[in-house]
A and B are shown apart, each in its own frame.
Chain A
């Protein structure tokens, strides 16, 4: 059966078949770990279909990338090995933002193995990659795609939870203050109401 290009369901299925070897730590953290730079470069080459190039965009501060983030990048290179992304040079210059900005932010809230083990996180990675590459998921329009990513986004979810937590904290604080102030003198009253 012919696969639809950029079908989210099919890409999620592909991602979840990610071999265990991609879960290994980066060689920045473990001797004998995955050679992260080589993996990133190979993926660049695969996507750009330019196997002779040796220079690709990577951050200057690689040492600040943490283990969980590196492993998320490793897993995402598996996703990028899907035929939908191979030999697709227009997305090459989008990958830096995906790997080193968006995935970095999401990794703060997502443990690396959840990208595979958790349906929603797998879909989040797929949608995040498509969004960064400016690719519309199959059968969706811009609004639908944005809504679905927003509802899955770990960063958004954390923001909402944080806001909700802060709102709750604020209300508790107001209630405490109210009780305290009710029992104390307030300020001059000048007339009857």
Chain B
């Protein structure tokens, strides 16, 4: 038998939704005349004990308003560390207190995922997510149904800041994850935590639908309360001009420029929230004017020197390092995220200032003046670009590829020339956003490093 590269449908609906008796809404979502050609099935897998754990996490996310302050790490860190040292093989003999604990990297998780599993974790609850590797080599992330479903209360705590709540119940679609890709897994599902509300993962790619106008008709019919996705997918959706009334759009995985955010907010008439999340620990924070506001009281964040295991003081820029989480299959101690920012605490709540995804890159003008990529991000953020890639060649020429249905290559060239003090050659290209894009997340690269 040929070995398939992707996951296979392997469960019954009873196994997908052990606590839901009425699956009629699920069947309606799956069998609708406008429904896409769903290629997968999925459930939240929550049993009674697991569901109560998700509710327990919800209380924590809602009730804890002071996470920690600059003088003192959160009180739970010591116990968490002791638990990890006692039950997680990877951490044994690595150190006794957080101050002297070494950082770990994505490489460690990629090479030894099995060593991060706590001895207390029930292997019958193990789930595996195989990441696409859009920002690096592929990675197997181990988790359980509780840590996965905790996404919902985490997002509810964000929405609370906007006075938005998700309506529960079996006749409403709570979340639709919108994709605009060549290929991805798509399915209709339900959320036990949201009392049977619908969950959709759909791909706008026309080849996934029976008729070209079905994507819009389907979405309009079920009118999801919350749309999630990346900026490219949202711009592809905007292009279809659907008549939807979402309560919020939640953008993640790629940088959301102010220009794109404004366009989406104007059209959908709701907040567009720029969420920072990692596969390794789920949601961390969302963008505000002060920086990304951290939403997880069960995570302790520090900033480290990029190359040395040296913790940096508050306010100093470096690599974001995470400790904590609620995943017994991947408990993190000082995990280097690969993302860069400085930390600021306001009334006990941490903010990630000037968060930039992955490798910080310095560019140079022809006469060798340094240009920081944060300055480039800030300027480009004003344009309605759904995403972009920028590369500096050895001869200092800049190659720029943007994704937008509005911005022109000429405009980009002008902006970049201004940033580079009119001392640079720019080759700019703009790709129109379609309903099936192939986009890499990597923003900046250079041959001069």
Interface residues of A (CB under 8 A from B): 167, 170-171, 173-175, 177-178, 181-193
Contact = CB atoms under 8 A, between A and B. Distances in A.
A4 to B, nearest CB: 37
A192 B191 CA distance: 17
Interface in B251-290: 252-254, 275, 277-279, 282-283
Given A174-B123, A175-B114, A190-B152, A185 B129 contact: no
B128 A188 contact: no
Interface stretch (B7-15, B203-211, B370-378): B7-15
Contacts of A189: 42, 129, 148, 177, 201
Given A190-B152, A191-B177, A185 B9 contact: yes
B8 A183 contact: yes
Contacts of A184: 7-8, 10-11
Nearest to B190: A188
Given A170-B117, A187-B43, 18 more contacts: A177-B123, A177-B126, A178-B126, A182-B128, A183-B4, A183-B8, A184-B8, A184-B10, A185-B41, A186-B129, A187-B127, A188-B42, A188-B44, A189-B42, A190-B152, A192-B177, A192-B252, A193-B282
Contact of A191 (B7, B8, B250): B250
The list of the 6 closest CB pairs from A to B, nearest first, reads: A192-B253, A191-B228, A184-B10, A186-B127, A181-B128, A174-B114
Given A184-B8, A185-B8, A188-B44, A193 B127 contact: no
A193 B277 contact: yes
B284 to A, nearest CB: 10
B149 A188 contact: yes
Contact of B42 (A174, A185, A192, A193): A185
Contact of B148 (A173, A182, A188): A188
A188 B43 contact: yes
Contacts of A193: 131, 252-253, 277-279, 282
B114 A190 contact: no
Interface of B: 4, 7-11, 16, 40-45, 89, 113-115, 117, 119, 123, 126-131, 140, 142-143, 145, 148-149, 151-152, 155, 175, 177, 189, 191, 199, 201, 228-230, 233, 250, 252-254, 275, 277-279, 282-283
Contacts of A174: 114, 117, 123, 126
B43 A182 contact: no
A178 B40 contact: no
Contacts of A182: 7, 128, 130, 140
A190 B199 contact: yes
A181 B127 contact: yes
Contact of A170 (B119, B177, B250): B119
A192 B128 contact: no
Contact of A178 (B11, B119, B140): B140
Nearest to B250: A191
B126 A188 contact: no
Given A181-B128, A182-B130, A185-B7, A191 B277 contact: yes
B178 to A, nearest CB: 9
Contacts of B282: 193
Contacts of A191: 151, 155, 175, 177, 228-229, 250, 252, 275, 277, 283
Nearest to B46: A187
Contacts of B140: 178, 182
Contacts of A190: 151-152, 155, 175, 177, 199, 228
A181 B89 CA distance: 21
Contact of A188 (B10, B189, B275, B283): B189
A183 B123 contact: no
A66 B149 CA distance: 55
17 contacts: A171-B89, A171-B114, A178-B113, A178-B114, A178-B128, A178-B140, A181-B126, A183-B10, A184-B10, A185-B42, A186-B127, A186-B128, A187-B44, A188-B189, A191-B229, A191-B283, A193-B278
A187 B149 contact: yes
Most buried by A among B43, B123, B140, B277: B123
A187 B42 contact: yes
A54 to B, nearest CB: 51
A112 B395 CA distance: 80
A191 to B, nearest CB: 4
A81 to B, nearest CB: 44
Contacts of A186: 7, 42, 127-129, 143, 148
B123 A187 contact: no
B180 to A, nearest CB: 11
Contact of A185 (B10, B275, B278): B10
A87 B213 CA distance: 102
A186 B8 CA distance: 10
> Most B CB atoms within 10 A — which of A170, A183, A188, A191?
A188
Most interface-central of B41, B128, B228, B283 (chain A CB within 10 A): B128
A188 B7 CA distance: 13
A23 B10 CA distance: 62
A173 B253 CA distance: 33
A191 B200 CA distance: 10
A10 to B, nearest CB: 37
A175 B115 CA distance: 10
A173 B233 CA distance: 39
A193 B252 CA distance: 6
